A and B are shown apart, each in its own frame.
Chain A
Amino acid sequence: MNTPRLSHSAALILKALSLGYCFGLDVMEATGLPSGTVYPALRRLERDELVESKWEPEEEATAKQRPARRYYEVTRAGKSAALAATQRYPLLAHLVPEKRS
């Protein structure tokens, strides 16, 4: 399968997701990109099957008294695209900090 060529911001978002940032607001914080870039880019990545989204279990959210949120996860194709993007943009790894649990 051909690895899709990603824009710099899409590569940055994919990198953030692969480092464990898993929802829109978190990705915004990690990358410093505006939300007008992050959310449509997440939609595009999902459409291209590089990421997939799933809803947090309701019980988990209810227990913490907050609404369930939508989590994004990098797919296998997304992982290879992220790897190719890191080779294409070597500074990418330094732009997104490792997620502290």
Chain B
Amino acid sequence: MSPAAVPPLPWFDRNLLRAAERIVPAGERAEWSRTWQAELWHMHHPARKRRRKGMGIAVDLSIGLVCDAVWLRTDSWGRALSGTPALCLASLAGLCVMATVVGLALNGSWRAFAVYARGPFERSVFAAAMVVFVSFAMTSRGHIEHGSTSKGRFGLKRQAFFAAKAALVLLLACLMSVDICRPIHTVFPQTAAALQLLMFVPFALMGLRWAFADQEQRCKQCLCSLAGPARVGRPSHNLLEWNGTELACKQGHGRLNVPEMETSWCDRSRWVDLGPAWE
């Protein structure tokens, strides 16, 4: 339709649209703008008598316009960050901050928290070394055949990510155990100290176990979570052909073949690079 055929929107609406447009991701901006131009136009030129009219609906629609733009932006961030290593580390760091805030609230001040937490932290560092040793010993190191991504840039990136994740998990386990034992500490300090250590060890073990499992289920190149698990093969044909689950990288870097049962010819998960053609 020619723009001249439709009377233009009022000054406020045009400027609000222009301002909110910047929030919307570039790819969806044109359609969003078209949708809202139509909605605003129809608000000003109702085809039939409306239940709500005047300023009320104008303000309501202006709020909706901004909410819609914000939703599109957060949804696009959600899609872009979903399963990424950055989101994983940020979530763990966020949990650590929350646990610290709880600790501060329980102790009343930063100084009191620092004085109280020093002992538990020292004990936890000692225990963490043992927990890490035990976790590595319990987890099969050669669980996945990494193929061409085992060394070099990808290998280093993977190890750095795992180290950061494990450090945050241990810190979180320590902060949680410190927070939980704080109320007991005022009445039974010795019991609280022992209990803190007893709680830290299982928290840290569970956390590291999760860290190992999470690491296995990530792309060996981009470190994003693998998606689309698919069952392949039939369990009854276990001796004849491979059967298990296949997980794929959303960006097409490769796929992970996880055997259903360990066999002499396929005893571990295998990462298969798909190459640039699939990306």
Chain B proximity of A64: nearest CB distance (Å): 9
Per-residue CB contact flags for chain A residues 45-57 toward chain B (1 = under 8 Å, else 0) read 0010000000000
User: Which of A7-15, A30-38, A86-94 binds B?
Assistant: A30-38
- CB under 8 Å from chain A, chain B span 28-67: 34-35, 37-39, 41-43, 45, 50-52, 60-61, 63-67
What B residues does A35 contact at CB under 8 A? 60-61, 63-65, 67
Task: Report Cα–Cα, A43/B45, bound state, in Å.
Answer: 24
Q: Is B267 positioned at the interface, with any CB of A under 8 Å from its CB?
A: no
- Classify the secondary structure of B's interface with A: helix
Q: Is B214 positioned at the interface, with any CB of A under 8 Å from its CB?
A: no
Contact B45 A25 (CB under 8 A): no
Q: Is B75 positioned at the interface, with any CB of A under 8 Å from its CB?
A: yes
Contact B50 A29 (CB under 8 A): yes
Contact A66 B50 (CB under 8 A): no
Q: Could you say which of B39, B51, B61, B65 contacts A69, with CB atoms under 8 Å apart?
A: B39
Task: Report Cα–Cα, A22/B64, bound state, in Å.
Answer: 17
Contact B6 A36 (CB under 8 A): no
Q: What number of residue pairs across chains A and B have CB atoms under 8 A from each other?
A: 71
Contact B42 A65 (CB under 8 A): no
Chain B proximity of A22: nearest CB distance (Å): 12
What B residues does A25 contact at CB under 8 A? 39, 42-43, 61
Task: Report Cα–Cα, A68/B39, bound state, in Å.
Answer: 9
Q: Is B72 positioned at the interface, with any CB of A under 8 Å from its CB?
A: yes
Task: Report Cα–Cα, A61/B61, bound state, in Å.
Answer: 22
Q: Is A20 positioned at the interface, with any CB of B under 8 Å from its CB?
A: no
Chain B proximity of A74: nearest CB distance (Å): 18
Task: Report Cα–Cα, A70/B61, bound state, in Å.
Answer: 16
What A residues does B35 contact at CB under 8 A? 24, 69-70
Which A residue's beta carbon lies closest to that of B64? A35
Task: Report Cα–Cα, A66/B46, bound state, in Å.
Answer: 11
Contact B1 A68 (CB under 8 A): yes
Task: Report Cα–Cα, A47/B74, bound state, in Å.
Answer: 14
What B residues does A19 contact at CB under 8 A? none
Task: Report Cα–Cα, A96/B221, bound state, in Å.
Answer: 51
What A residues does B38 contact at CB under 8 A? 66-70
Per-residue CB contact flags for chain B residues 1-12 toward chain A (1 = under 8 Å, else 0) read 100011000000
Contact B71 A65 (CB under 8 A): no
Q: Is B68 positioned at the interface, with any CB of A under 8 Å from its CB?
A: yes
Given contacts A25-B43, A47-B75, A69-B38, contact A34 B60 (CB under 8 A): yes
Besides A28-B64, A62-B5, 10 new A-B residue pairs in contact (Cβ under 8 A), listed by A number: A24-B39, A35-B67, A36-B64, A36-B67, A39-B71, A40-B67, A58-B1, A66-B41, A67-B1, A69-B38
Q: Name B residues whose Cβ lies closer than 8 Å to a Cβ of A.
A: 1, 5-6, 34-35, 37-39, 41-43, 45, 50-52, 60-61, 63-68, 71-72, 75
17 A-B pairs within 8 Å (CB atoms) are namely A23-B42, A28-B61, A28-B64, A34-B60, A35-B60, A35-B65, A36-B60, A36-B66, A37-B67, A39-B67, A61-B1, A65-B6, A66-B6, A66-B45, A68-B1, A69-B35, A69-B38
